[in-house]
A and B are shown apart, each in its own frame.
Chain A
């Protein structure tokens, strides 16, 4: 309870809460935008109507998700100034231009073409409409590129000097952007977004197959999603391993927290489960496999791994949260890979669409991508503590001179508004997902103009009924 009276803790909680809510939306829209572009391309190439039916099903969901991503994203661009002003003043010269590039290359591109993508099919024709969809997809990727460059620089800073007034002054932009952890984090996150989307699409396809295994759009969704999962989940595990080795090289304290190691040792065990106790400086109730930790991280049975005791107490991240978030992420990743392999096995036996067991498993793992993404971000962000800029600037020195009442009341405001507004949005998304794909929805009472094409989502529907 003491922590709740600490403005620094509350500012962290506010950032974690707002960014945790926010990341869910882009993690989904990055993948979904690309999926929509692929669907539209397939529709243009094959002329098969089923691709357009799947496209329409997901376009409305994309629009709602994107709107929530935009409004929660604007909040993020102001959080740095309102709650982390000292960080902004000192690190602004480095992180500011990168975020500026994010706005200039990505946000405008997405926003500029989103209107055409949602409402413009009839006005611009198929080819240009596809170009708009592709631009939106490219924009979501560029956005990930820049913001992950910022985050990675905060994890593994380089390419700057520190001026007399305390500001981080860029020396080499190439070094700043392509800092050591950036390539790994970028690939890991973009794959996570694709995987997350594939799991959601697969779950929705499975849901509809359970009710009607002959539904053609549902079959397309389920099949494409299962291909995507089996292709990306194993790759993601390998990429995650490389990312971990990179972290070991640059942020060994984070690895020690992830592994629950307090003692520096050769032939370190791999804890499957346990409870890292920062007070007692040991992992309690540990279920460990001897020497496997060293083998995985150093590729030697007797490799040496640093323990948290190598750092003074005030320089260590809190281990339990990092340890457990890491296990949640990895555990879900393994389940995803198994789901992908199961899909492959059933497909090989020619029974991909006929297995309620497989479909139920796909539904159960539908939200797994989001959970894994949030868990992964907790690992990397909490694991960076007690620093905002690793090794150079502490979180406690980064915060705004805002008193407890200000931070506390804004935090409550965000929590209430986010749960109310985004709760409603997520409810609408579920309802859109539940609509049988390929079936033209009956026009709702009191809204006859919807089918006349005056409303955003169904407008697309109307276009295609009247058009091609």
Chain B
């Protein structure tokens, strides 16, 4: 039996993208929630909950992009031109968002400008990621190893829905993170925002889940034919269970990590749901994991590095989070 390298890499890239969604999700979410906090000291606290880690979080996006180029160059070279506009806008938005972490401390007069740069950058980047995801799910037209669709193919009601859903989802992740990292007034307000966002997110997950199977007959068959349905039926139930855990966590304030963890569960379940729809495709509607994969010589070479290095990366990333554990409070010295 030989090792199925393309499959391993598909899983690895899926995990890298999920890691990105979760990690950068909460710090983009903080950017989305930013305008709700008007006082300067509140904004300082919000920013400082992620300042030491945002850079590492965003590196998973580079790993997702770079890994896709290495392992699935065909997918990379089809998906990126197909989602050209949302990706370019996302990159520009991430630029505004990323520099704000440093720039807002370097000026007094322009601090407000960089606060807006942080907020709008986070919001637009999230929206574009969600739209890009929707654009991918609804399928990409390919002729002769290249994108063959039009300039506006990515912009549909469905992709707008996924964009909006991701904004709500990241905002909820951000609220959950802030519940863990802050106290008193900021925390109180995050509990309130999280209730509203939680309800909205579950509704949106429901809407996307119901819509997706009707985009493509393959998706429909995957979810609603026997025997698949025995495996897919528990998915909505698990989503409801996570939603219940979220609701409980928002009412029982002794367990501060629960809202964040329950939101993570919602993300992971939605992501698995996507995986169920996609399997075995890399680029819907036609290109499979094996068709898109690089030759084994490339996959094997990078796999050695990934197997050795990813545990080390996880260890020191975990260590960095551990160093900056605990509440960020404006009275307690942070550094």
Chain A residue numbers with a CB within 8 Å of B44 are: 449, 454-455
State whether the Cβ of B51 lies closer than 8 Å to any Cβ in chain A. yes
Chain A residue numbers with a CB within 8 Å of B316 are: 108-109, 112-113
Chain B residue numbers with a CB within 8 Å of A111 are: 55-56, 58-59
* Pair A70/B55 contact, Cβ less than 8 Å: yes
* Pair B65/A100 contact, Cβ less than 8 Å: no
The residue that A71 contacts in the complex, of B48, B56, B95, with Cβ under 8 A, is B95
Interface residues of B in 73-91 (CB under 8 A from A): 73-74, 76-81, 84-85, 87-89, 91
* Pair A86/B146 contact, Cβ less than 8 Å: yes
State whether the Cβ of A459 lies closer than 8 Å to any Cβ in chain B. yes
State whether the Cβ of B40 lies closer than 8 Å to any Cβ in chain A. yes
* Pair B56/A104 contact, Cβ less than 8 Å: no
State whether the Cβ of B305 lies closer than 8 Å to any Cβ in chain A. yes
* Pair A108/B59 contact, Cβ less than 8 Å: yes
State whether the Cβ of B35 lies closer than 8 Å to any Cβ in chain A. no
The residue that A74 contacts in the complex, of B62, B105, B148, B324, with Cβ under 8 A, is B62
Given contacts A78-B87, A96-B73, A111-B56, contact A85 B335 (CB under 8 A): no
* Pair B56/A401 contact, Cβ less than 8 Å: no
State whether the Cβ of B217 lies closer than 8 Å to any Cβ in chain A. no
State whether the Cβ of B92 lies closer than 8 Å to any Cβ in chain A. yes
Q: How far is the CA of A85 from the CA of B77 in the complex (A)?
A: 4
Contact pattern, A 391-426, Cβ under 8 Å of B = 1, otherwise 0: 000000000111101100010011001100110110
State whether the Cβ of B1 lies closer than 8 Å to any Cβ in chain A. no
Interface residues of B in 272-322 (CB under 8 A from A): 294-295, 297-298, 301-302, 305-306, 309-310, 313, 316-317, 319-320
State whether the Cβ of B211 lies closer than 8 Å to any Cβ in chain A. no
* Pair B313/A86 contact, Cβ less than 8 Å: no
Q: Shortest CB–CB separation between residue B320 and chain A, in angstroms?
A: 5
Q: How far is the CA of A428 from the CA of B76 in the complex (A)?
A: 37
* Pair B106/A116 contact, Cβ less than 8 Å: no
Of the stretches B96-104, B159-167, B237-245, the one at the interface is B96-104
Q: Indicate the size class of the contact surface on chain B.
A: 35 or more
Q: Shortest CB–CB separation between residue B198 and chain A, in angstroms?
A: 30
Chain B residue numbers with a CB within 8 Å of A422 are: 99
Q: How far is the CA of A463 from the CA of B335 in the complex (A)?
A: 7
Interface of A is mostly: helix
Q: How far is the CA of A121 from the CA of B333 in the complex (A)?
A: 12
Which of B40, B48, B66 has the most chain A CB within a 10 Å cutoff? B66
Q: Shortest CB–CB separation between residue B89 and chain A, in angstroms?
A: 8
Given contacts A413-B88, A444-B108, contact A449 B330 (CB under 8 A): yes
State whether the Cβ of B94 lies closer than 8 Å to any Cβ in chain A. yes
State whether the Cβ of B14 lies closer than 8 Å to any Cβ in chain A. no
Q: Shortest CB–CB separation between residue B292 and chain A, in angstroms?
A: 10
Contact pattern, A 113-126, Cβ under 8 Å of B = 1, otherwise 0: 11110111111100
Of the stretches A41-49, A87-95, A230-238, A324-332, the one at the interface is A87-95
Q: List 16 A-B contacts (CB under 8 A).
A: A70-B58, A77-B66, A77-B69, A78-B91, A88-B80, A92-B69, A93-B295, A96-B76, A104-B63, A104-B306, A115-B55, A115-B323, A123-B335, A425-B103, A428-B102, A446-B108
